[in-house]
Chain A
Amino acid sequence: GAVVSQHPSRVICKSGTSVKIECRSLDFQATTMFWYRQFPKQSLMLMATSNEGSKATYEQGVEKDKFLINHASLTLSTLTVTSAHPEDSSFYICSARAVGGPEAFFGQGTRLTVV
């Protein structure tokens, strides 16, 4: 099956610093990647949709200046949490859709803790 690698799996950062999370499709090209946030015992909340070579589309209520998304190639998207605060602590998950298909494959997630 298709593999999506997300890195890092866990990160602890100090309040006010920025953190970058990478999402790579290892064995397929992904025209579209999605970034989700998940709180404990809750469903996935879509933050933004990124298409290769264009600006990301953010969901209502998601601050685009705080959550910077870059989709530089068909296999890599990055999410940068800028000026992180403790309330940004969460589980962030990316997913990628292969060209021409409906299937979305998820990364293993990144547990961000801001102290």
Chain B
Amino acid sequence: QQQVKQSPQSLIVQKGGIPIINCAYENTAFDYFPWYQQFPGKGPALLIAIRPDVSEKKEGRFTISFNKSAKQFSLHIMDSQPGDSATYFCAAPLHNTNAGKSTFGDGTTLTVKP
């Protein structure tokens, strides 16, 4: 049973557009929601993360919106650039357990056209 469901699978936008990637989670024990960016042949890099006590967090052009009641969180990329073309993963780690392992979404391949 997948605990984090990510959509869409792929996304194509024009430069300057605002791609939005969504994740829905099931386990209310999750209390930390990161987004990772991965370029081909590289490991994922932590992009931005949010805790459920706030509804939105911005870091540069990246914004996370969090809806606790709906158990959903999304990533918005403002003024997207071709360099943002990558695969994005949402995750939800159970860090309050001894294991602390993360469950990942299936990923979204973003293409930003010049």
Whether A77 sits at the interface, judged by CB under 8 Å, is no
* B:92-107 near A, CB below 8 Å: 93, 95, 98-102, 104-107
Interface residues of B (CB under 8 A from A): 31-32, 34, 36, 41-46, 49, 89, 91, 93, 95, 98-102, 104-107, 109
Chain B residues in 8 Å Cβ range of A104: 34, 46, 91, 93, 102
Of the 9-residue stretches A14-22, A40-48, A81-89, which lies at the interface with chain B?
A40-48
Task: Enumerate 28 A-B pairs (CB-CB under 8 Å) in ascending A order.
Answer: A6-B43, A34-B101, A42-B106, A43-B106, A44-B89, A44-B104, A46-B102, A49-B100, A49-B101, A95-B44, A95-B102, A97-B93, A97-B95, A101-B95, A102-B32, A103-B34, A103-B49, A104-B46, A104-B91, A104-B93, A104-B102, A106-B36, A106-B44, A106-B45, A106-B46, A108-B42, A109-B42, A109-B43
Whether A105 sits at the interface, judged by CB under 8 Å, is yes
Chain A residues in 8 Å Cβ range of B98: 51
Q: 1/0 per position for A10-42, CB-CB distance to B under 8 A?
A: 000000000000000000000010100000011
Q: Interface size of A by Cβ–Cβ distance < 8 Å?
A: 27
CB closest residue in chain A, given B89: A43
Q: 8 additional contacts, CB 8 Å, given A42-B107, A102-B32, A109-B41?
A: A42-B106, A43-B104, A44-B104, A49-B100, A104-B34, A104-B91, A104-B102, A109-B42
Chain A residues in 8 Å Cβ range of B46: 1, 103-106
Whether A93 sits at the interface, judged by CB under 8 Å, is yes
Asked if A43 and B105 make an inter-chain contact with CB atoms under 8 angstroms apart, the answer reads yes
